[in-house]
Structure 1
């Protein structure tokens, strides 16, 4: 079979030819049974092998795949970049979680400063969420117990260097830190702690005896109450007892004062007795070495008046549940000793006292307004000097 050279063949079957593969050509020429002459013919086997193999002698150009624009390729991020991004997300999440926790604790502290009977549902929920932050609670206490603790827990502030005894309950540290104090191995430390306990007990005992109506009490009964007292500090303007509700505790005032208030809204406007705002009159004061709450707690009676702290108050209090196991003689003495908190003012006297107090408030307001106007008229402003007169913009005259 005659062959054409690469110079005469530029295309084969529509495909471009670039040259001849001579090693394949020599192999093709060595096929057994093939004949080059016109008279003699190749065998069928040689002809079939030749037809299947002759395409291999032609060299064709390599196919070039179309290029992909580099701008459209997204390079996968490196492992370091992925770890950095994950770290930033964790830090952001932790920061947001810490901020949320601080807001929650702040709300819980405000709620704990209220007496339990004044707390609303949102206050109880905030306290409950803070309690669940502590694993020691969630692993050992049920939800029912946590809700109960939320309704009776209170907040206390201790100064540096004070010793805190946990025999009356447990404490959660919301701010600051404490250091455990052990004294089992030191006789001197045992002696010091014993002296402190004696002094603490003596102070509680003298607090009760200092009250005017407890002076003649027997020592045994005073000792019974002294063992139940807990010392507390209350801020200014905190409602300790609310009119129409049972007192939350019996209190013995050590330092500070309380105002005794009574609602007289029905006397001023009987038609607006409900929902018209509370009109209260100060009917009395309570000071050091005075007590309140005995009758309300022991006989489960609503208080006839409201008691609000007029100054910061230091007092010893006795919780109602601790009085349940006290002996009948001491209870009887407490009921006989307790005095009415609201005095014996008639309705007319209360109304007159209310009018007097309102006039006093109005007069104080007028005096402050006149003084403020006089200072403003003379150009005396805070931070500008006592004798500086401002007669216009940019003009200042010193007397």
Structure 2
């Protein structure tokens, strides 16, 4: 049989093994067993027996190591996007990501400082150092620091507006209580800045909006033993609050919102008297601002104060960014707006022929600026009362603060007041005809064309005369005025002047 001979001839020699097949591919133990089979064809044996042939065929595949089949791997799902190239800034390595969701979350949800974090403790220690001074000795920067630190305390931030918080940060004080002292919070709202305490009862804190009577009923329904058990398990730590911003009625003066200091404590106090005083001052300022805003508008200057007060009760403040569409043309206005600060642009639509790049003329709708709404001007009264569409599109040109009255409130006013509104108010830019709008659009387009031609001609003339603005001797720096009345040249201008003098 020729098969064993062919198989034997296919076995590589040592020289071939070194050159072609690496050592790890051949099992030499099996190769030795294969060569020692009795009955194979050789010089002394001209024929191979059947038994030796079968044995050879079984052992032959075993002299080579089998390769492991590697299947393509399935990538594991990534919860976060991989960070991009690291940038070194001041010796610190910063990693940036191209995932826009990370930056949107930072804008919508600013970084929160946890009460257990070292950053929060450091800020509270800074606040303690400032509050050791009496309010009259603090600087404006320290007052602003107190305001920023108070916003980090959740119970204070939730109850007070920014305006109230700024006013209260000027008169906030700090109290020091030794271990074992009892602090009653019926005269103010307290926040623990350092140390710890335990409440004496279940109800030790009243937030704004909670009713004292409901607290009293819940207090009477709860047994004293239960309250003591609950208070014993509650521990007030750094950043915890107790007390109330509003004083309890005389009938409920027995309701004590008190705590016991477990160690020496530094406690921030917001007096109830100061809060009520500031609340009245802010309400008074807001009342005056609303009155001045409505009475300052041209349509309402001759109105009796009785009717102005009725409108003031419905007025709310709103802030709009630049480029915000307040009213769309062809729709009924949803509110009456009184501009307190900023100004708005009013646009009207017109049909115009526009030339495309290939020379084809098509009809397009264009917006034409017909006027502006300045401070202490109002809009929307006629559209709401007569239920007619607004003729203009009103867009904020800058950040605008408005006092608005909803359409439902306007339609719910007395008939006498509605008639007075219709007599004094007028449609916004309602007397402008379509021909005037078309003429204004043509005028603006001609100005744009002439400006383009003029700029092109100026650039060509400068280029032909070798003048390149901003380079070489054509560099120009504006002169800066000095308080003494003279003029001061910048370094670049003075250098140019000295070079020109030397050349002369």
Normalising by structure 1, we get a TM-score of: 0.49
Larger-Rg structure = 1
Normalising by structure 2, we get a TM-score of: 0.40
Query: Of Structure 1 and Structure 2, which has the larger fraction of its residues in strand?
Result: 2
